[in-house]
């Protein structure tokens, strides 16, 4: 992945930290929408070898991130942080775009 640390330094640092610590190893893609995107990164409930009934509802033990928005379009192949309606709620979940939006 190419990281845009000048556009989202805290988001990139968080993503890299979680990856290096193995949080993303063995996680399910709990939300896949054909022609749109796939979402993963639920380090609390998303383990492939666990009970996936709550997959997509959890995050890491780290603090949520303050929003870092940019002008980078959500084109095919871009990765973005998933969050709730609260702009400061991104944590560990992320999505990958299948098509330009």
pLDDT at 96: 97
Residue-wise pLDDT tens digits, 44-61 = 999 999 999 999 999 999
How much is the pTM?
0.93
**Environment class of 93 (CB within 10 Å of its CB; exposed 0-12, middle 13-18, buried 19+):** buried
In the structure encoding, which two tokens stand for residue 16, read together?
């890299």
The mean pLDDT of 82-96, rounded to a whole number, is 97
- Do the beta carbons of residue 28 and residue 47 sit within 8 Å? yes
């Amino acid at each position: 992945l190419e990281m845009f640390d000048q556009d989202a330094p805290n988001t990139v640092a968080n993503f890299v930290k979680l990856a290096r610590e193995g949080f993303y190893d063995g996680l399910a893609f709990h939300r896949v929408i054909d022609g749109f995107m796939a979402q993963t990164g639920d380090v609390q409930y998303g383990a492939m070898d666990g009970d996936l009934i709550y997959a997509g509802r959890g995050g890491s033990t780290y603090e949520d991130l303050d929003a870092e928005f940019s002008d980078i379009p959500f084109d095919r192949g871009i990765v973005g942080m998933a969050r709730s309606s609260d702009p400061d709620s991104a944590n560990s979940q992320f999505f990958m775009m299948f098509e330009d939006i």
